[in-house]
Chains A and B, each alone.
Chain A
Amino acid sequence: MADLISIRDLDKPTIEKLLSVSEKMEKNLFTSYDKFPGKVAATLFFEPSTRTHLSFQTAAQRLGMSVVPYYHAASSSTKGESLSDTLKIVDGYADLLVIRHPAEGSARYAAEVCRHPVINAGDGGNQHPTQTLIDLYTIQKAKGKIKGLNVSLIGDLSHARAMRSLLYGLAMFGAKVKLIAPRGLEMDSQIVEEVKEKFDAQVEASEQLDLAGADVAYVCRIQKERFSDPYQAAKMQASFRIMPELLLDAKQDMILLHPLPKIDEIPAEVDASPHAHYFQQASHGVPVRMAVLEHALKEG
């Protein structure tokens, strides 16, 4: 399949292959691949992004591709051009499209409209499949396996698309997942039921922030922009911070991940902790997205 729209579209062997190619890409990251000279990747970001946008651009360039970036604020979309028209135009310029858009299902729609492969870089609160691949790659690399690991997903599990995608990926690979969220910000019960049914996954939920027993603690920020009451958001964030003293209860080899940006849910002093793995995780964005781009162009 050339398009990458949702983690639901990927089976385990395909993910394993992508992770294996990611490893090869990482080993030779600073050599020139020049695999796809003359190919053009368009990166259409209708929402702000730092890591995803830059790592896709870097990945494309390391594969020898050129990049045409699209910046929403400076585009004709601000004049009222439909998404469909914008996509058709860009599809005529590029060999592959990477899209982030606030509407859920926008990447699937883009794949219908475009002749060239489309990669989802985040569609509203729905999916972020390449982030999940990065997360699985990071866990596998740090722990040597995913199956049987105790993974805690912590924070605003209601709004974070990265967490929705990741729960599916972890369940597919047989991790034991603990969902730790403040009341009202729990993971959508539909997806919990789905992974339990589909993968016979072990998933438990808790409101108590506790790292004991976890092999991996994956934290995401409270999405303050989704709250109508900023005070309520700040209060929830204050009760869900990974303070250094909390790490004292953690297993020695527990790794702490975060899709970034981290705001104040992980204070800066934790960055120096041996548990902190989120900057390595972010650096994996390039090799994993190189693997994704190569897969899309080879299949497409």
Chain B
Amino acid sequence: MEYLTLIISCILVNNILLAKFLGNCPFLGTSKKMETAVGMGMAVIFVMVVAGVITWLIWHKVLVPLDLGYLRTIAFILIIASLVQFVEMFLKKSIPTLYAGLGIFLPLITTNCAVLGATVFNVDDDLSFLMATVASFAYAVGFGLALVLFAGLRERIMLARVPKPLQDTSIGLITAGVMALAFAGFSGMV
């Protein structure tokens, strides 16, 4: 039950894109086409879960015992950057089909603040190992869900006649605002 609440809270109520405002650059950048949105969503789910697990271990087994808490930001970003690089090489070598699918999105994830943000939230909320893993997964699913829904809306907007100054990013942001309003409706759930 505890886990169910956590999952619902991370996916819908505290949606990392629409309620916490993290990862907006890829949100606006990769949402023009459905395929890229799905690819980005998958890549984020994959990296965020692995990053969540590793940063949790580093934080609780290395940084806290050695009293190096102030190095958190620098340690976490290095872990994420090297992890992304490693995942990229690993996929290229052993699972080429998946690499072809995720390929171009993987390097982008290093500067996706949703990944760093989720790992920081896990540490700040002082979650247990299993809880942190589940939360990372749920945050990533929330990210993917919002991204895919938004891409669907944006494909429709392309066909509409939007006034010139509002075109592209501007109307995209306003659409995201309406989506955030819809997601705000979940806030009473948990």
Q: Do A and B bind each other?
A: no
